[in-house]
Amino acid sequence: MDLHDLTTHLIHRTDVRAMNYFKKKLKPYSMTPVRWSIINVLDTQKGITQTELAEAVDKKQTTIVEMIYAMEEKELIKRIYSEQDRRLHYLFLTEKGEELKKTLSPLVKDVHLFVTRQLSDEENNQLKTLLNKVYNGM
């Protein structure tokens, strides 16, 4: 079987190329794709738990903990502890995090448009549908 006939290979090589391009565009802002995902999730789902965040960005909780600490040090996110259970905390973007989200949103949109520029709107929708179907089937 030819390597380029394997869907897993095609997905992987596409992901590597797209992520490298995305990383290059985010680098001047000291940002990574995963950190961008965290900012994006916290912008739309204010006050979620660390476990919910890990699930939303599809990362292990241990990875998320490290990123939360790093992003907290950069004053991009903050934790607010539960009054009922001090072990539980909720995550929010800080004002600085919200400003970075506003700054990066056009850049992220441009990256998306660059990556999908060869696709029509219909093809892009089909691709998203198919990739979600493959993902959800695993």
Q: Are 50 and 89 within 8 A, CB to CB? A: yes
The pTM (predicted TM-score) of the whole model is 0.86
Residue 23 — left, alpha, or beta (φ > 0 → left; ψ -120 to 50 → alpha)?
alpha
For 31-56, the pLDDT digits (tens) are 999 999 999 999 999 999 999 999 99
For 75-95, the pLDDT digits (tens) are 999 999 878 877 788 999 999
> Does residue 23 surpass a pLDDT of 90?
yes
Given this model, what pLDDT does residue 39 score? 97
The pLDDT-based confidence of 22 (bands split at 50, 70, 90) is very high
